[in-house]
Structure 1
Amino acid sequence: MSCFCFLVDQKTKIRRSKPVAGTCSRCRSSARVADMMTQTRFCYVPVNSKYWKAIICSFCGAILKSYRQASY
C-alpha cells in the first residue's frame, strides 16, 4: 500500500504600498493601497502567482478592499 503526501501552501506578500485617504473601519487607523502578490507552491515549487491591488490597514493589516488584476 502506498501513501502520497503532498505539501501545498499559499503565501501572500506586500510588494509595495503608499498612503491613501481614509481610515480602517475596524481600528480607525490609516489605510494604505498596496500591490500584493499571492504565490501558490506545490512541494516548495511555485506553480501559480497572482498580482493584485488591495487597500489595507497600516496598523492591524486587515484587507479592506481588493482589486484583482490579470495573472502575469
Structure 2
Amino acid sequence: MVVFCFLVDQTRKVNKAKPVAGSCSRCQRGASVAEIVTKTRFCSIPFYWRSCKAIVCTFCGATLKSYT
C-alpha cells in the first residue's frame, strides 16, 4: 500500500527582532537578531513547529546565521 502526503504549507514568522552591529553580506544593509518560529503543515494538519534564533537582514530577509 502506498500513501502520498504532500507538503501543503510552511510558514516562517518573526516574533522578536533586535538590531545588531554589522551589515548583510549580500546587500550591505542592516541586520538584526530575530526569534523565528517555523510551522509546517502536512495534508492541512499542523504537524511540526520549531523556534530558533537567527541573524537576518532587515532589507532582503536573508538568513545570515542560525542558532538552534
- TM-score normalised by the chain length of structure 1: 0.80
The count of corresponding residues between Structure 1 and Structure 2 is 66
Q: After the TM superposition, which segments of 4 or more aligned residues of structure 1 sit over 6 Å from their partners? A: none
Distance in 2 between residues matched to 1:12 and 1:28, nearest whole Å: 23
CA displacement 1:10-58 (0-9 Å, x = unmatched): 2111111111111001111010000001111112221111000000000
Q: CA RMSD in A?
A: 1.6
CA contact (8 A) 1:18 1:33 kept: yes
Q: TM-score, normalised by structure 2?
A: 0.84
Residues 13-28 of structure 1 correspond to what in structure 2 (within 5 A)?
A: 13-28=13-28
Identity value in percent: 50
Partner in structure 1 of residue 49 of structure 2: 49
Quote the Cα distance in structure 2 between the aligned partners of 1:27 and 1:4. Answer: 44
Structure 2 residues without counterparts, runs of 5 or longer: none
Mapped partners of 2:32, 2:3: distance in 1: 42
Number of the residue aligned with 1:38: 38
Aligned to 1:59: 59
Q: Provide the secondary structure at the position in 2 that maps to 1:6.
A: coil
Q: Which runs of 5+ in 1 are unaligned?
A: none
